[in-house]
Amino acid sequence: MKPFSAVLFDLDGTLVDTAPDLAFALNSLMAEEGLEVLPYDTVRPVASHGSAGLLGLGFGISPDHEDYPSLQQRFLQLYQDNIARETTLFEGMEEVITALENANITWGIVTNKPAFLTDPLVEKLNLTHRAGCVVSADTTPFSKPHPAPMLHACDVIKQIPEACIYIGDAARDIEAGKNANMRTVAALYGYLSDQDQPENWQADASIEHPRDILKWI
């Protein structure tokens, strides 16, 4: 990996392990609707795909279904109420971001999570004042894989895209990074399903554990 001056992270499944609380919210909603709850291992691979993916998993519906808006509203409320119930940084990630800070390498967050969920979660994890930027799905008119959020992050941290590494656990993350001319890293420890094929994402590198990032610092 060539010299770099900033590292940007996807949030869910890359920087932070949010799947336990997303699974809790989905299963709470399913229980309310009289459905049998799902095993955590079934929910985890879908955790990066937002409410559409999770409601599709739990209820077998897509966003154009007539029941989707009400179920989504209730799901988001349940998740918001339990947003940091069990969510933590991935094991080893505190060591990574501390090492970045000690090396004067800026780090930030670019996520497809909406700001009304992103901001309180980042605050509860005491990351707000540490991150050089926090870019959410609605910070710009477009979300990943569009390059707009990535380029906005660069504007905030005053870095050129070519000097940034973007780390994510989904194909759209790698696509977004490449669309913005950033170097990209696939987080294989994240929320990948059996259908995902990270070997085809054309990332510049892949990592099995957050601590693998330390090899570049």
- pLDDT band for 1, please (50, 70, 90 cuts): low
Please check whether residue 169 lies inside any domain of the structure. yes
Please check whether residue 154 lies inside any domain of the structure. yes
The domain total for the chain is 2
Task: Dump strand ranges (E) for 147-204.
Answer: 164-168, 183-187
Condensed to tens digits (0 to 9), the pLDDT of residues 10-34 reads 999 999 999 999 999 999 999 999 9
User: Catalytic residue among 10, 169, 173, 196, which?
Assistant: 10
The answer, yes or no, to whether residue 40 has pLDDT greater than 80, is yes
Number of other CB atoms surrounding residue 55 within 10 Å: 25
The last residue of one of the domains, among 81, 105, 126, is 81
Please check whether residue 1 lies inside any domain of the structure. no
Please check whether residue 96 lies inside any domain of the structure. yes
Long-range pairs for 51-59: beta carbons < 8 A, 24 or more residues apart: 51/75, 51/76, 54/22, 54/26, 55/26, 57/26, 58/26, 58/27, 58/29, 58/30, 59/30, 59/33, 59/35
Q: State pTM to two decimals.
A: 0.95
The domain in which residue 186 lies consists of 6-17+87-216
Q: Is 12 a catalytic residue?
A: yes
Share of the chain above pLDDT 70, in %: 99
Looking at the structure, do residues 152 and 115 belong to the same domain, yes or no?
Answer: yes
Looking at the structure, do residues 128 and 165 belong to the same domain, yes or no?
Answer: yes
Cβ neighbours of residue 59 closer than 8 Å, sequence gap 6 or more: 30, 33, 35, 67, 71
Looking at the structure, do residues 74 and 24 belong to the same domain, yes or no?
Answer: yes
The last residue of one of the domains, among 81, 107, 133, is 81
The last residue of one of the domains, among 60, 81, 102, is 81
**What is residue 3's predicted lDDT score, i.e. its pLDDT?**
81
Q: Is 169 a catalytic residue?
A: no
Compute the average pLDDT of residues 91-108.
97
Contact call for residues 6 and 161 (beta carbons, < 8 A): no
Condensed to tens digits (0 to 9), the pLDDT of residues 140-189 reads 999 999 999 999 999 999 999 999 999 999 999 999 999 999 999 999 99
